[in-house]
């Protein structure tokens, strides 16, 4: 007699594999080992890491929101599957960049100097802003800040020679 659950289990297992392989989600950053795809620095501060996942599932990691934003603006956005930033109040936790709230404050020293920090919710941002000051930004405003302060100024280098500017 055939096992009536065999087919269902196989189907469930294959579905799980398919979902696990679907592009779009981030993977954990290995702090102290992974290297920023934009500036080539080792990603070491768990409060500021970021990722870009292409539509094909390739993952680019960054040491700061500003590196992600600069890379994103120079990439073919049609090939971008998703972008992720680290919640400052939950180091190592990646959240969707478009849904995050941002604080730019000189008192919050990000690895690349534009002092941008991401937050998953307004209450966390408000608490940090009350202590450190600064300006609240959206993802669109972060892109504008990076464009104005880095990309138009030409610093830091747009893409060092050893890097490829376009994702997949």
pLDDT in tens, 6-31: 444 333 333 333 334 445 589 999 99
Decide: 168 and 54 in contact? Cβ < 8 Å. Answer: yes
Average pLDDT, the chain: 83
Q: What's the rounded mean pLDDT across residues 103-125?
A: 94
Mean pLDDT of 19-47: 85
Residue 159 lies in a domain: no
Regarding pTM above 0.85, the answer is no
Token pair 């020679």 in the structure block, residue: 161
Query: How far apart, in whole angstroms, are the C-alpha atoms of residue 67 and residue 97?
Result: 13
Least confident of 40-44, 95-99, 156-160: 156-160
Cβ atoms within 10 Å, residue 43 = 26
Q: Is residue 83 part of a domain?
A: yes
Indicate whether 51 belongs to any domain. Answer: yes
- Domain membership of residue 9 (yes or no) is no
Per the structure, the count of domains in the chain is 1
In a domain, 110, yes or no: yes
């Amino acid at each position: 007699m055939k096992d009536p659950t065999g087919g269902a289990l196989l189907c469930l297992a294959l579905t799980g594999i398919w979902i696990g392989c679907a592009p779009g989600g981030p993977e954990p950053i290995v702090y102290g080992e992974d290297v920023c795809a934009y500036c080539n620095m080792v990603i070491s501060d768990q409060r500021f890491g970021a990722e870009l996942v292409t539509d094909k599932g390739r993952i680019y990691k960054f040491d700061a929101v500003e590196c992600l934003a600069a890379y994103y603006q120079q990439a073919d956005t049609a090939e971008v599957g998703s972008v992720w930033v680290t919640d400052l109040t939950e180091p190592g936790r990646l959240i969707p960049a478009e849904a995050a709230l941002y604080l730019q404050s000189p008192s919050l020293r990000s690895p690349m100097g534009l002092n941008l920090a991401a937050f998953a919710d307004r209450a966390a941002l408000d608490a940090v802003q009350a202590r450190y000051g600064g300006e609240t930004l959206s993802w669109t405003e972060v892109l504008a800040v990076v464009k104005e302060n880095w990309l138009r100024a030409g610093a830091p280098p747009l893409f060092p020679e050893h890097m490829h500017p376009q994702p997949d």
